[in-house]
Amino acid sequence: MMDETNRQELIRDFRQHVNTLYHSVREWLDSPNLSAKAGSVHLNEEAVGRYEVPLLSILAHGRQIAELRPVGLSIVGARGRVDLVGTFDSIPLLYLLQGGGAITSTVSAGEKVLDRSSRPLFHGVQRSGWYWIEDKKVGVARLLDRSLFQEVLARVSDYEWR
């Protein structure tokens, strides 16, 4: 495990990203039928140990239809993950940094470099934020905004926006 200062910093950043996400989601629940309820969850990761982080339940007519459940801050290719878990499905939301983690590849013959190219791990990351890597369009990251949130909430819960 890392030193305490780094650990606290990582946890603080992750909580901040999660709270930003929840703040946006509360704004996007702009239907009188929908509401949100705050909670918390304890996570235990090799990188940072045990810590507490908020979760958010989404309710329709007072009944829970989905939950934004933090998974961790130590995530392959990302700086955090929160799953949107609904009655019918679950999708991971990743916190990605601008550029999406550039990858440089080199082709060489002996000492001679034949080709060097650089490209992002995930395409479409114009700025840091919460993204959905759609399973049917692999490698393409879609920034979570009001319209995408409505789409993914419908996907996991069958909720019909009117």
DSSP assignment string, 68-88: EEEEES-BTTBS-EEEEEESS
User: Using CB under 8 A, which residues numbered 132 to 151 contact another protein?
Assistant: 133-136, 138-139
Q: Binding of another protein at residue 84 (CB under 8 A)? A: no
Instruction: Provide, rounded to whole angstroms, the least separation between the CB of residue 66 and another protein.
Output: 12
Candidates 14-22, 30-38, 115-123, 144-152: pick the segment binding another protein (CB under 8 A).
115-123
Determine contact, residues 58/78, Cβ cutoff 8 Å: no
Residue 158 interacts with another protein (CB under 8 A)? Answer: yes
Give the torsion sign (CA, 118, 47, 37, 59).
Answer: positive
| Region from 13-21, 29-37, 39-47, 142-150 binding another protein, contact rule CB under 8 A | 39-47
End-to-end CA distance of the chain: 48
Which of 27, 30, 89, 145 forms a contact with another protein (CB under 8 A)?
Answer: 89
Region of 75 on the Ramachandran plot (φ > 0 left; ψ -120 to 50 alpha; else beta) = beta
- Least distance from C-beta 151 to another protein, angstroms? 15
Yes or no: say if 58 and 66 are a contact pair by the CB < 8 Å rule.
Answer: yes
Q: Is 129 in the site for another protein (CB under 8 A)?
A: no
115 near another protein, judged by CB under 8 A: yes
